[in-house]
Structure 1
Amino acid sequence: MITDTQIERWLREDLGMNDVNNKISGSTTGQVVVKESGTIAGVDVATAVFEYLDADVTQHVSDGDVVDEGDVVVTVEGVISALLRAERVALNLLGHASGIATKTSKAVCRAREHNPDITIAATRKTTPGLREIEKHAVVAGGGDTHRLNLSHMVMVKENHISEMGLEHAVEHFQERTSFTTKIEVETETYEEALIAADTSADIILLDNFSPNEIERVVEDTDPSVILEASGGITVETVDEYANTGVDVISMGSLTHSVNSLDVSFYTGDIPAEL
């Protein structure tokens, strides 16, 4: 849920001390247009930015829709100075979210060609202040949010294991969490993964395992334990990991290494050649 406070902060950051660029009188109609194909996300966020400055907005697509070059995302009507003030903030958020959705969709499609049941998930490697938008964009692209914050799940990581030992660490958190809270253990070797699978953990994270190593763990663990692969996996290599039989592939690159989708704002006629 995007708040007015967030929008005001974004707009103030862009406005600076004295904006003379947008001091134009009168009203107009403008359109946000896609300049390359992809999966759209952030439509409601862009709409909220324009509406915050009293523009009337008509949405032509929804988050998760596949768009092509020249497609109109939203049409806005309002005071020229207000539309121009909202333009860059709205486009930045829309383009960024759509870039994430597009990359996620590519990863999901490629992985499911090899494993129709695979889940492609994001991580907590998000931009501070934009996590909600970025995680929503992952969902728009067909992915899974993974945990939204630290309270959603316990992750027993290498530092926990170093301090307490794997089995003791799982027991420690099991005693302190609700029955509704899942526990995931991050492992770095085949042997460690098997030890974790014998605890009460719900999910085993295979961190930086090769596809061959993952296949070995899949063969030697109970199918009831969820296995997640992570660590440097890209859209180009995701199919190799999907073939292993792992349940989940989490990819930090979905949010931390993404190109924004190219979108522009036009008042008047849209150029024939974008």
Structure 2
Amino acid sequence: MLTTTQIERWLSEDVGHHDVTNQVPGETTGRLVAKETGTAAGLEAATAVFDYLGADVLEAVDGGTRVDPGDELLVLEGPARTLLRGERVAVNLVGHASGVATSTAEAVAAARAERDEVRIAATRKTTPGLRGIEKRAVVAGGGDTHRLDLSHMVMVKDNHVAEMGLEGAISHFRERVSFATKIEVEVESVADAPQAAAAGADIVMLDNMAPAAVREAVAALEEAGHEDVLTEASGGIGLEAVPEYAATGVDVISMGSLTHSAPSLDVSLYTGEP
């Protein structure tokens, strides 16, 4: 949920203390318009900004809607000064979120062309202060949020293994988590995948492995009787590599680039009559 404090912080950053630029008289209408093809997201945040300022949002497309150049994402009315003050914040939020959703949709389509079952997931590599918006954008693009924060799942990483050993680390955290909390274990070799599963991992992350190694690890888990353990491929996977990873039989492909490198979708706010 967006808070009033978040919205005030965004507006304060842009409007400042003495805004002369937007001191425009009268009432007007506004249209937030897509200027390129993509997947819309971030409209709830933009609506919240305009609601806070006192503008009326008459129409808004749903997150996940496929849009083309010229399509209207939001239709507004209210004081010209209000619409102009919310313009840059709304455009930035929708452009960024829609870029994340568009990148996610492209990755999902690339994966599903190989296998319908594979999921595309985000990571915690999000922009500070914008995680909620970016994670919602991933969902709008058809992706999976992965864990939203550290409390959602324990991830046993290389540093944990270096300190306690693979089996020791899994045992350490298993004793401390709720029955409802899953444990994911990061491995970097095919041999470690069934070892992690045998030690109690719910999910095995195949980190920085080439597709051929991922395929071997998935097969090794099945041969060892751990076919119920979920597998996740992760580590610098770009859009061009998604089909090859999807074909390995892995359950999840996680991509930090969905949030930290997605190009913004080009959108603009126009006021006055079309």
What TM-score, normalized to structure 1? 0.97
| Counterpart among 231, 237, 250 of residue 235 in structure 2 | 231
Q: Could you say what secondary structure the match of 1:77 adopts? A: strand
Name the CA distance, whole Å, in 2 between partners of 1:123 and 1:21: 39
Cα deviations by residue, 1:188-247 (Å, 9 ceiling, x for unpaired):
111222211211110000000000001111111121110000011111110010000000
Q: Could you say what secondary structure the match of 1:152 adopts? A: coil
Amino acid aligned to 1:89: V
Q: Could you say what secondary structure the match of 2:10 adopts? A: helix
Name the CA distance, whole Å, in 2 between partners of 1:166 and 1:152: 21
Q: Which moved more, 1:92-101 or 1:52-61?
A: 52-61
Q: Which residue is equivalent to 2:42?
A: 42
Q: Which residue is equivalent to 1:150?
A: 150
Deviation at 1:15, TM superposition (A): 1.2
Name the CA distance, whole Å, in 2 between partners of 1:184 and 1:115: 23
Name the CA distance, whole Å, in 2 between partners of 1:58 and 1:146: 33
Name the CA distance, whole Å, in 1 between partners of 2:260 and 2:273: 35
What TM-score, normalized to structure 2? 0.97
| Counterpart among 256, 262, 273 of residue 252 in structure 1 | 256
Deviation at 1:17, TM superposition (A): 2.9
Deviation at 1:267, TM superposition (A): 1.0
Q: Which residue is equivalent to 2:162?
A: 162
Cα deviations by residue, 1:68-105 (Å, 9 ceiling, x for unpaired):
11000111111111110000001100010000000000
Q: Is the 8 A contact 2:43 2:60 kept in 1?
A: no
Pairs within 5 Å for 1:206-217: 206-217=206-217
Q: Could you say what secondary structure the match of 1:185 adopts? A: strand
Q: Could you say what secondary structure the match of 1:184 adopts? A: strand
Deviation at 1:168, TM superposition (A): 0.5
| Aligned pairs, number | 270
Deviation at 1:60, TM superposition (A): 3.8
Q: Is the 8 A contact 2:56 2:76 kept in 1?
A: yes
Name the CA distance, whole Å, in 2 between partners of 1:181 and 1:77: 46
Unaligned runs of 5+ in 2: none
Pairs within 5 Å for 1:72-221: 72-221=72-221
Name the CA distance, whole Å, in 2 between partners of 1:73 and 1:90: 11
Deviation at 1:58, TM superposition (A): 1.7
Give aligned-pair identity as a percent.
61
Cα deviations by residue, 1:127-185 (Å, 9 ceiling, x for unpaired):
01000000000000000000000000000000000000000100000000000000000
Aligned CA-pair RMSD: 0.8
Name the CA distance, whole Å, in 2 between partners of 1:200 and 1:189: 17
